[in-house]
Amino acid sequence: MKVKPVAEKVPSRRPVIPRDHTTHICTDERAWVDLLLSKVALILAGVIILAALCHLAVDAGRMNQDRQLEVIAQDFRSAIDSAGRDSYGAGGKNYSFDPYEYHGRFGSGLNVSVSGEYVTASFDEKGRRYTSVKPLTYKTLPFSETEVRKELMDAFSAAGTQGQPIPAPIGPENLMEFLATLGTKEKNLNISIPVHIEKTLIYTYNLNGTGVKELEYILVYQ
């Protein structure tokens, strides 16, 4: 009986990948990663630039509104001060906001008010208020002639006219203090109709009753 020789098993070998091919694959993967990262960086940069531009646009819009409010308050203050420089009897003047078309620029959010100390222009937008305040140079009252005389009559039983001066026990200092307190009542104006501005004189006896003093006031009302 013949014995067949057993064939010797040769261990299988894995295919050897050429070194240059492996380097090519690694290099190709890194290139894709670099490309992806560069795309992400460009997108992030674009988002940041867009956000910055939007922020600048909002700031520019707010600055423009602030400048417009400054113009409104300054122009209105100048009109009141102009009446203060005029001599008594020069006649009143009507001030209108219409030539500047402020109502169209700000919509219904624009507010203008006046007190005995300052004028205020403000604008409400999205829960935030922008305000410009200008102090007045001359003593001002946000009342009409009739309203002022009524206040004086109720307080001193005299209208403060030339024929009915404020009585001597009051005196000019106390009278000016009373009018200053009266002027702190801020009055909101309707910017769709003219504002009347005029100078008036209020007469009061001196404390000793020996003479009469004139007090000049600017009246601003609608």
The predicted model gives 73-92 an average pLDDT of: 90
In terms of residues, how long is the chain?
222
pLDDT band at 138 (very low <50, low <70, confident <90, very high): very high
CA separation for the pair 192, 107 (Å, rounded): 12
* Mean pLDDT estimate for the chain: 81
From the list 131, 105, 106, 130, the residue with the least C-alpha distance to 119 is: 131
From the list 187, 169, 212, the residue with the least C-alpha distance to 117 is: 187
What proportion of the chain, given as a percentage, has pLDDT over 90?
51
pLDDT value of residue 129: 82
pLDDT value of residue 23: 57
Neighbouring-strand partners of residue 203: 214
From the list 222, 82, 79, 219, the residue with the least C-alpha distance to 149 is: 219
pTM for the full model? 0.69
Q: Look at residue 59 and tell me whether its pLDDT is greater than 50.
A: no
Q: If 0-12 CB within 10 Å is exposed, 13-18 middle and 19+ buried, where does residue 106 land?
A: buried
List pLDDT tens digits, range 178-195.
999 999 989 999 988 999
List pLDDT tens digits, range 192-216.
899 999 999 999 999 888 899 999 9
